[in-house]
Amino acid sequence: MRIMFVAGGTGGHINPAVAVANEIRRLDPASEILFVGTEGRMETQIVPKAGFNIKTVKMNGLSRKLSVSGIIENVKTVLLTLKASRTSKEIIKEFNPDVVVGFGGYVTGPVLNTAVKMGIKTAIHEQNAFPGVANKALAKKVDKVMLTSPQAEKHMTCKNPPVVTGLPVRREIVTADRDFARASLNLKNNEMLVLSMGGSLGADAINNAVVEMLDMLKNEENIRFLHATGKYGKWVQDKLNEKGIPYGDGTNIEIREYIDNMNICLPACDLVISRAGASSISEIQALSKPSILIPSPNVAENHQFHNAMTLAEHDGAVLIEEKDLSGKALAEKVLELKNDKQKLRDISVNAGKNAKTDALSEICRIITNL
């Protein structure tokens, strides 16, 4: 089977597509797979590292600025889209796919639209509770729409009934052993591990709040903190030093730039503090982890808030909007959950109620049966 995956712009679109492609390749080594992405974006690095070929088209999103510069940008985008459609047709003709699957990003628009016009089977996967612009438009045309969250259906008009598949979660996380993970981090049975992060690049609002929280809770007993600052959060350690907050060996605070062993840290932790990207939500659900979610306000359609609400409205997470975020608010909530084990357990149970741990196999089944 020849399958074309289209995804671009952010890891939230690219990584699920790569996970599905890997699983299809595992199930059917004879399958032929090609990715199509945006020229000059992160997919041109991620996809080849995963062992797949990628072709690119030049594409931009529409500007939301109500200004002369915004109008000029949008005129350029329309012209780029016309050119991208021609490039897409050339790529599709050359690869001759049996099915084209879009995982989001502006690049999916011209490629999937072209595939539909050429009579090729098509599908899309929407990761967020509030769909992106490209997927909302494509849902009316493609053969199959797959959703991470049932809430997304309220905001889409689909050609055919959509299927709630969930979002693929890495096998090594789903199958991880909690006891082994905690032993790997030298955690005592009565120690609570708080895992906090703001994404691969880092989030200043979360980093600042965590520093304040650590200052308040540094002497709290039976609690450990593991915080990932992100690429642009290297100043956090300077801030801790400035405040005289001990961290590192022999303390209850560990600071990293990235969590590169999430298959250990996530299963081992007792509470997660993070943004509300679709992948984070799915991993939290898959492992039934209590969480404090701080949605980024700087994303399209405010989709992280909608993602967080899928858990928070069912008492499956604590939601703190960034405008209400402070070290004091975080510290109070962490202490409340540490001292109320029943509430922590209730949030855990509710978080896992709608988990879709079979998302990977379900998505592969749908794609290969189109």
Compute the residue count for the chain.
370
Residue 63 confidence class, pLDDT cut points 50, 70, 90? very low
Residues 166, 185: contact at Cβ < 8 Å? Answer: no
DSSP-assigned beta bridge partners for residue 6: 36, 102
**169, pLDDT greater than 90:** no
In sequence order, what are the residues at sequence separation of 6 or more whose Cβ sits closer than 8 angstroms to the Cβ of residue 67? none
Residue with tokens 């259906």: 153
Q: What is the 3-state secondary structure (H, E, C) of 23-83?
A: HHHHHCCCCEEEEEEECCCCHHHHHHHCCCEEEEECCCCCCCCCCHHHHHHHHHHHHHHHH
pLDDT on residue 58 = 85
Q: What is the mean pLDDT of residues 36-51?
A: 90
Mean pLDDT (whole number) for 341-354:
95
Q: Residue 16 pLDDT > 50, yes or no?
A: yes
Model confidence at 66: pLDDT above 70: no
Here the tokens at position 113 are 């639209």
Query: In the predicted model, what is the mean pLDDT of residues 92-97?
Result: 98
Of 262 and 143, the structure prediction assigns the larger pLDDT to 143
- pLDDT of 54 > 60? The answer is yes
Please provide the distance, in angstroms rounded to a whole number, between the alpha carbons at the two ends of the chain: 11
What is the Cα–Cα distance from 75 to 61, expressed in whole angstroms? 11
Q: What is the pLDDT of residues 303-327, one digit of tens each?
A: 899 999 999 999 999 999 999 999 9
pLDDT-based confidence at residue 139 (cuts at 50, 70, 90): very high
Domains, the chain, in order of start with CATH, read 2-164 (3.40.50.2000), 172-352 (3.40.50.2000)
Q: Are strands 163-164 and 223-228 parallel, antiparallel or unpaired?
A: unpaired
SS3 of residue 243 by DSSP: helix
pLDDT tens-digit readout, 195-209: 999 987 789 999 999
pLDDT level of residue 301 (50, 70, 90 thresholds): confident
Tokens read off for 102: 């879009």
Give per-residue pLDDT as tens, 247-293: 999 999 999 998 889 999 999 999 999 999 888 998 999 999 999 99
Give the pTM.
0.78
Work out the mean pLDDT of the chain and round it to a whole number. Answer: 91
User: pLDDT by residue (tens digit) across 104-124?
Assistant: 988 999 999 999 999 999 999
Residue 369 gets which letter from DSSP? T
How far is 18 from 53, CA to CA, in rounded Å?
11
For residue 76, name the pLDDT band (cuts at 50, 70, 90): low
The CA–CA distances, whole Å, from 208 to 147, 271, 275 equal 34, 19, 14
Binning pLDDT at 50, 70 and 90, where does residue 357 land?
confident
